[in-house]
Amino acid sequence: MGAEMERASNHFSIREARGLVKDLSNPNPAIYWADFLTSILIGHASFAILVRWSSLRPEWLESNVASGAICVALFALTAICYMRSVMFIHELVHLPEEGFKAFRFAWNALCGIPLLVPSFLYYPHIDHHRRKHYGTERDGEYLDLSHRHPANLLLFVVAALVVPVAAFARFALMTPLAWLIPGFRVWVEKRASSMIIDIFYLRGDFGAESRKVMQVQELLCFAWCSGLVAAWYFARLPSASIATGYLLATTLVIINNVRTLGAHRWIGDGRELTFEEQLLDSVNYPHRWWITELWGPIGTRYHALHHLFPSLPYHNLGVAHRRLMDGLPSHSIYRQTERVTLTGAIIELWMRARNRREAEQAEENSSSLKRAA
How does pLDDT run across 250-270, given as a tens digit for each residue? Answer: 999 999 999 999 999 999 999
131 and 87 together in one domain: no
46 and 162 together in one domain: no
Judged against a pLDDT cut of 70, whether residue 2 lies above it is answered with no
Residue 8 lies in a domain: no
Quick one: which H or E segment has residue 321?
helix 317-327
Judged against a pLDDT cut of 60, whether residue 8 lies above it is answered with no
Average confidence score pLDDT of the chain: 93
Last residue of a domain, one of 112, 147, 172: 112
In angstroms, the CA 340 to CA 283 distance is 10
Domains contained in the chain, number = 2
Domain span holding position 134: 121-273+341-373
Last residue of a domain, one of 54, 85, 112: 112
Judged against a pLDDT cut of 50, whether residue 9 lies above it is answered with no
74 and 201 together in one domain: no
SS3 282: strand
**Cα-based distances in Å from 139 to 150, 184, 218, 271, 355:** 21, 23, 23, 11, 25
Amino acid at 306: H
Check residue 301 and give its pLDDT: 97
Residue 254 lies in a domain: yes
Last residue of a domain, one of 64, 93, 112: 112
- Per-residue pLDDT of 19-43, as tens digits, reads 999 999 999 999 999 999 999 999 9
Judged against a pLDDT cut of 50, whether residue 4 lies above it is answered with no
60 and 143 together in one domain: no
- Per-residue pLDDT of 127-162, as tens digits, reads 999 999 999 999 999 999 999 999 999 999 999 999
In DSSP terms, 302 is beta-bridged to 284
136 and 92 together in one domain: no
- Per-residue pLDDT of 40-74, as tens digits, reads 999 999 999 999 988 888 878 878 888 999 999 99
58 and 181 together in one domain: no
